[in-house]
Amino acid sequence: MRVSDDRYTRDRQKFDLALRLIRHEARTFTIRQWTGLSDDRIRKLYRSYILSGDAHEVTRHRGKSPRQAAFFFRNPELNFHAAQLASLFVMYGLVGPGERGVEPRYRVGSLESGALLCRAYEAYLEMHKPVNISFEHAWFLLLALARHDEVGLARCANCGGVRVRDLLAKRKLTCGNCEGAIESAARAAPCESAARAAPC
């Protein structure tokens, strides 16, 4: 009896996580990765979700997931959003300090890690409407931070805040937020702001 109860609870948790991921417009592949549900089961869940009438703005994404770290460095605003998400990943324990900087603390396929990823993304949604970073890009950011080959975390030399660093690009010391402020100051008063931005 207890075994079947446990199984029921586990299945329920899988479905709840899958629905949460569908709401965040995650791809079928991503939902399968995190829940272990079959594509067919996910399709059925997706259909029932649409029919329930809660899905007026949900789009189903097919094809490949994002795989370009350059996306997070496209402009200062996106870089700032990426830094906020990265901070949330640290807060929710998905990554933590390690010998090489941040190291993964999540496990793909764990319902607990999947739920934490959703919670981190939902906290990001609370802060921004509309958001600049989709769930799939957020998941990719977490993977890239854990891989430690293209994206890293560092401290902004100007404001001390968390910034997402492009490990392949030339060394930058400021976060997206400060970079944007310095750029607009440079447009307004080129000489004065160049002197102020010199430490960067």
**Among positions 45, 82, 133, 178, the unique one binding Zn ion when judged by CB under 5 A:** 178
Closest-CA residue to 118 (of 90, 138, 133, 103): 138
Q: Which is nearer to Zn ion, 43 or 155 (CB)?
A: 155
**Non-local CB neighbours of 133 within 8 Å, separated by 6+ positions:** 78, 81, 82, 85, 124, 141
Q: Which is nearer to Zn ion, 55 or 157 (CB)?
A: 157
> How far is it, in rounded angstroms, from Cα 182 to Cα 50?
46
Confirm or reject binding of residue 200 to Zn ion (CB under 5 A).
Answer: no
Closest-CA residue to 86 (of 73, 95, 99): 95
The alpha helices in 73-175, defined as continuous H runs, are: 76-91, 111-127, 135-147
Smallest distance from Zn ion to CB 96, Å: 23
Lay out the site mask for Zn ion across 146-175 (x = CB under 5 A, - = otherwise). Answer: ----------x-xx-x-------------x
Q: Which is nearer to Zn ion, 102 or 156 (CB)?
A: 156
Q: Which is nearer to Zn ion, 118 or 175 (CB)?
A: 175
Smallest distance from Zn ion to CB 88, Å: 17
Smallest distance from Zn ion to CB 171, Å: 15
Closest-CA residue to 66 (of 176, 142, 164): 142
Binding site for Zn ion (CB under 5 A): 156, 158-159, 161, 175, 178
